[in-house]
Every structure is written in structure tokens, then in C-alpha cells.
Amino acid sequence: MKKEIWKPGNMVYPLPAVMVSCGRPGERPNILTVAWTGTVCTNPAMVYISVRPERYSYPIIRETGEFVINLTTKRLAFATDYCGVRSGRDVDKFKEMKLTPEPSCEVAAPLIGESPVNIECRVTEVRELGSHHMFLARVLCVHVDPSYMDEKGKFELNRAGLLVYSHGEYLETGKKVGSFGYSVRKKKEKRK
């Protein structure tokens, strides 16, 4: 059967569903949900988020030049959706979703206490690309929930039940199907 041809569109799924916290000094902090985010570079550690200019958080991030990416879990799925469909112009999302704004180390924007990983970021460049503008940012600090550390001190983030967004739906990750390099790893010989 031949595949259908569609018009150009963004079909790179799944994507991480993250909550991005931001805020101006002296004002109530805000949270927006972003699925267009990812790694840009390892050294220096850099990430990006893409945001529509009409979003309430857009001018906050543009003016302050900072934000925090907060990874989400199955437990945070309702809050993740809510923070994506309600505007910070109208509601206090931290209060409504009973999320804890905690101080960051390097930026003024708060992190979300309930998130297993918080990534503090400072904007280095804004790329105005069309419907969305991309905020390229340097990672300044990463906070991790110690409850995901094993007895040897290894961070086991995959136990968190991270959320991804795919074609209008939130999904939980968790089933391992391989590990980096397993396709070329030599098999150990069995001893006789």
C-alpha cells in the first residue's frame, strides 16, 4: 500500500511535554506548557524552547532573558495540560494547580518543586522563525529529585514516568526497548 502524501507539517513526535516557569521581579510567576523544546548542544550545555509571541509568557521570557524547564510526569499530567490551555493573564497557575514555586540558584524565575528535574536557563539568542520564536538558552544549573537516585548514586530518571506529547495526546514513558550502543555491543561468550 502506498503512503499518503500530506502538506508540509511538523510530525516529529513524540516530544517532551515540559512546564516552563518564568517571571518578572515583583510580579506573580507564571508557567506555560511547551512541547517544542530540546537539546541544542552538549558543551556548552544548551537547550531551546519555541513560543508563540502572543503567549502571556513570551514577553516575560524575552524581557528577563531567563526561564526554567521543568520536566513533567504522569502525576503532573493534569497540571501540564492546564498550564498549556489557561493564560497566566487570567489565573495564578502555581496556586490553581497547587504547585510549589521554589527559588532557583542562577535565575530569578522559580522552579516547580514537584518536577523531578528543573533546568535553569539564560537566553543567548531569540530566533524569530514565523508562528513561533525560538529561545536558544544556556543551561546554568540542573536540579534533580534525590528520590530517583539508586543505592549506588546513579540517577534513574526513567523511573519517573516522564510525559511526552504526541499528536494531541500526553503519554507516559517507561518501557525499555534497548540502550545506547546495544546494536553494536559484542555478546559475552558463555563459559563452559
Express each pLDDT in 35-69 by its tens digit: 999 999 999 999 999 999 999 999 999 999 999 99
CA distance 139 to 37: 13
Omega cis (within 30) before 8:
no
pLDDT band at 189 (very low <50, low <70, confident <90, very high): low
* Beta pairing, strands 111-112 & 101-102: antiparallel
On whether the 15-172 domain is CATH 2.30.30.140, my answer is no
CA distance 17 to 35: 5
104 pLDDT exceeds 90?
A: yes
- Helices and strands (H, E) in the chain, number of each type: 3, 12
Rg (CA), the chain: 19
Cell reading at 121: 536557563
Name the residue with higher pLDDT: 12 or 122: 122
Domain ranges for the chain, please list them: 15-172
Residue range 143-165: average pLDDT? 92
- pTM across the whole model: 0.92
**Residue 190: what pLDDT?**
64
